[in-house]
Chains A and B, each alone.
Chain A
Amino acid sequence: GIQVEQSPPDLILQEGANSTLRCNFSDSVNNLQWFHQNPWGQLINLFYIPSGTKQNGRLSATTVATERYSLLYISSSQTTDSGVYFCAVLGSNDYKLSFGAGTTVTVRA
């Protein structure tokens, strides 16, 4: 299956700071999603972004499919942004999402 690597594994930010999370994947994909896992465990959809750039408020994401990576940007971070961020991909001939190990973000007030 597709290998997904996320970096960094941990990120500690001061409130108001900006950050970039990276997701590398090993093969072409039909689907790439970014999720935020809340403290209760639910995976909240942030972006569906197999290619291109999208923005939603303080969050934006870019996927460069030809180079097999995606970036998630968090601007003006808030304490509510804390949690684990997952990148997940579905390969061209695949039936299951392959997840990265996640980036744990801690935003301090």
Chain B
Amino acid sequence: KAGVTQTPRYLIKTRGQQVTLSCSPISGHRSVSWYQQTPGQGLQFLFEYFSETQRNKGNFPGRFSGRQFSNSRSEMNVSTLELGDSALYLCASSLNGYGKNIQYFGAGTRLSVL
């Protein structure tokens, strides 16, 4: 069974641009969560999608958005990039996101904003 796939692996953007990251979950998993990892803040929750609906959202500005498609693949978008958005973005998939479900992570997308 294929693992969680994130594309692209690396991105370099300039301030003010926008970016879209993609995450394909493990087959059969319906929940996809996104996390941002920075040296100063550690791993922080962005949002979670289940059956094409955003169920939960972390404490990030509206520039961060996402969506989920009918095949459970998810995208996250960051508009008007700022230097502070430079981070490793990780996505996790699980069967339904709650309770006793193991979360599996992708390899991440490393975003650098210049």
B-binding residues in A (CB < 8 A): 30-31, 33, 35, 40-43, 45, 48, 50, 86, 88, 90, 95-97, 99, 101-102
Contacts and interface: CB of A to CB of B under 8 A. Distances in A.
B100 A50 contact: yes
Given A41-B88, A101-B42, A102-B42, A30 B104 contact: no
Contact of B102 (A42, A48, A86, A101): A48
Size band of the B side of the interface?
Answer: 20 to 34
Interface stretch (B62-70, B78-86, B90-98): B90-98
Contacts of B75: none
Contacts of A41: 37, 88, 90, 107-108, 110
17 contacts: A30-B98, A31-B100, A31-B103, A41-B37, A41-B90, A41-B107, A42-B106, A43-B105, A45-B105, A50-B100, A88-B103, A90-B99, A97-B92, A97-B103, A99-B42, A99-B43, A101-B42
B97 A95 contact: yes
Contacts, number: 56
A39 to B, nearest CB: 11
Contacts of B56: 95-96
B42 A30 contact: no
A53 B56 CA distance: 31
Given A86-B43, A95-B56, A40 B98 contact: no
Given A31-B102, A40-B107, A41-B110, 16 more contacts: A31-B99, A31-B103, A33-B103, A35-B105, A40-B108, A41-B37, A41-B88, A41-B108, A42-B108, A45-B105, A50-B100, A90-B99, A95-B56, A97-B92, A99-B42, A102-B42
